[in-house]
Structure 1
């Protein structure tokens, strides 16, 4: 009874790098949550100094953590 959670083991994960076009209303925290990454990782990957200064239409690289089986 109850819920089974599957946690990613960092030693078994790979990163896929994709491009994401920011939409009106997007935030780095929302994008990070959607793709299983962090704000800091997005900032580092895209040389973004302030997470509050992103714009609709801007293209950023994202890493999506994928579990390798």
Structure 2
């Protein structure tokens, strides 16, 4: 019977808060919710985060892939 290799555990995702950031914006960027970020970081006031603060992004969130938009848009697949 073939064996299945163990699934590697996902790495912890962190995000450093920048000027103009808000938890809602960060949550949307990573495909998670404000509530999940608040809980993961034990934040007392979701309206008060500081520039330079390092946040743990809850497991299961997607890491955003920044890719330039190529104009005109084509139907052919492109790679970043």
Give the TM-score, by structure 1 length: 0.67
5 Å-filtered alignment, 1:3-18, equals 17-18=12-13
Conserved? CA contact 1:45–1:62, under 8 Å: yes
TM superposition outliers: structure 1 runs of 4+ over 4 Å: none
Return the offset for 1:49: 1.3
Which runs of 5 or more residues in structure 2 are unaligned? 1-9, 63-80
Query: Which secondary structure state, in structure 2, belongs to the residue aligned with residue 45 of structure 1?
Result: helix
Which runs of 5 or more residues in structure 1 are unaligned? 1-14
**CA RMSD, Structure 1 to Structure 2 (Å):** 2.0
Return the offset for 1:16: 5.4
Name the structure 2 match of 1:65. 60
Larger relative CO (CA 8 A, sep 6+): 1 or 2? 1
Q: 2:26 aligns with which of 31, 39, 48?
A: 31
Q: Which has the larger radius of gyration?
A: 2
Name the structure 1 match of 2:17. 22
2: CA distance, partners of 1:34 / 1:59: 15
Give the structure with the higher percent strand. 1
Return the offset for 1:58: 0.5
